[in-house]
Homo-oligomer: A and B are copies of this chain.
C-alpha cells in the first residue's frame, strides 16, 4: 500500500455517532445542581438546550443515528483524508509509520463544525431561531457561525474582548458567515453590565463570555445556547473522526499501536480516540492512547479529580473532572483552544481508569515539531494541533532507538492559517515556556473545598 492519502468515498461517511457511555466499565457520574447538589434533571437544561441534545447527553444507546440533513452538510468536506506522513518519517529517520487524520479541511479549518452542524440542526428542528455562544480565540465561534448560516439560524457570539481586538480575522470569518459578534463583557446582559460596572476596562474572559451567552439564551424564548466542547453530546458528534479513521486504517490493513490527540476541553481528542478506546475496553484492540496538553494548563497531568464548575463564574452544573479549579487563570499561551481549567468528564473518567495516558509539553518544543511538520508535510498546524505532533514525533524517535515499526496515528485537529502571529513570535524567539506552579493549583483548589467529594476520595 503506497498511497499518501487514504480517502473514503462519501458512502462510507458514518451513519451513526459512536456513544462511549454504554461501553464504559462504570457509568459516568452525573452533573450536579450547584444549589441542591442533586443530579441535574433533563428539564433543568431545557431553557438552553433542545430535547434531542439533552437526550444524547445521557443516552444509553451505543449508536446514535446521524440525521441525513447533518450528513449532507458533512459531505461538504467529509470524509476527511487520512495521510501517511512519509516525508516526516524520512526527516526523523524512524521505522515507525506515522498517519494523521486531517480535520483541517473543513471550511472553518478544524474539527469544530462536526458538532456545530449537529447542534444547529437539532435546534432548528426544535423551532429555535437563534443560537448564542461564547468564543475565545474564535475557532468555535466561527464553526457555529458557519453551521447556523447553513441551517438559516441567527448566531450571536460573545467573543472575549482581548481576542476580539487581537485576533481580528476569526471575527471576519464569523461576519462572512453572517453572525453578530460582540466583544465580551457587553452591555447586552446583566452579567456583562455587572463586570463593566466593577471594571469598565475589563478585557473579558471565557468564563464571562459563557455567562453572557447562557443568560442571552435563558432570557430569550427563541434562543438557545451552544457549547463547543466538554459535554457528552459534543464529544459524541465528534466521533465521526475516529470512526472514519478506523475504516481508513482497515482499508490499508494497518492496526494502530499508538493513538494521539491534543486536549483542551476534550472534544477533538474524544472524537478521534473514543471509537478506538471502546475497542480497547472490549478487548478488540491493544494500543496506547495519549492525550496531550500544555504544561501551562496541565489539567489532566496535574489537576485534581473532583466536582467543579464548568465555567469561571460558577453558573453551570458541577461536573466530575480533572480540574485546576474554576478560578484558574491560564497564562496567555498561543494554543488558545487548550486553555481550559477542566476537561470533558468522559475523558477524565477514562484517564482515571487508565485507558488514556495524559502528557504535557511546553509550547516551544511543540512549535518546533509544528515547523518540522510544515516543512515536510506542507500543512501548517494550529498551535493546539502542534501538541499532538510533538508527541507523535517523540514516539517516532523512540521507535528509531528501539527499531520498532510501530503504527502511530494522530488527530490533526486544525490548520494554523489564523495563528501565524504565533509562528512569527516562535521564529523570532519570543515565545516563553511556562510550567504551571504547584502552589497555584493548591490555592485554586481551595475554592472547591465545599463541593461533594468523589467516592475515590481526594
Question: Footprint of B on A, CB under 8 Å?
Answer: 3-5, 7, 9-10, 72, 75-77, 83, 87, 105-109, 146, 149-150, 168-169, 172-173, 175-178, 371, 374-380, 417-418, 420-421, 423-424, 427
Contact = CB atoms under 8 A, between A and B. Distances in A.
Contacts of A177: 374-375
A329 B20 CA distance: 62
Given A7-B9, A76-B83, A109-B417, 20 more contacts: A3-B75, A4-B75, A4-B76, A5-B76, A76-B87, A76-B378, A87-B150, A106-B378, A107-B374, A108-B378, A149-B375, A150-B378, A173-B380, A173-B420, A175-B427, A176-B371, A176-B374, A176-B423, A177-B374, A417-B418
Nearest to A371: B176
A300 B81 CA distance: 39
Contacts of A75: 3-5
18 contacts: A4-B75, A76-B377, A76-B378, A77-B378, A87-B150, A107-B377, A109-B417, A146-B378, A150-B376, A172-B420, A172-B423, A175-B423, A175-B424, A176-B374, A176-B375, A176-B427, A417-B417, A417-B418
Contacts of A83: 76
The 3 closest A-B pairs by CB, nearest first: A107-B378, A172-B420, A4-B75
Nearest to A175: B427
A176 B376 CA distance: 11
Contact of A7 (B7, B150, B173, B424): B7
Contact of A10 (B3, B106, B109, B146): B3
Contacts of A10: 3-5
Given A7-B7, A175-B427, A374-B176, A420 B169 contact: yes
Q: Which of A9, A76, A146, A178 has the most CB of B within 10 A?
A: A76
Given A10-B5, A105-B105, A424 B172 contact: yes
Nearest to A13: B4
Contacts of A377: 76, 107
A425 B424 CA distance: 25
Nearest to A2: B10
A147 to B, nearest CB: 10
Q: Which of A5, A10, A371, A378 has the most CB of B within 10 A?
A: A378
B107 A380 contact: yes
A70 to B, nearest CB: 13
Contacts of A77: 378
A296 to B, nearest CB: 23
A421 B377 CA distance: 28
Contacts of A421: 172
A178 B374 CA distance: 10
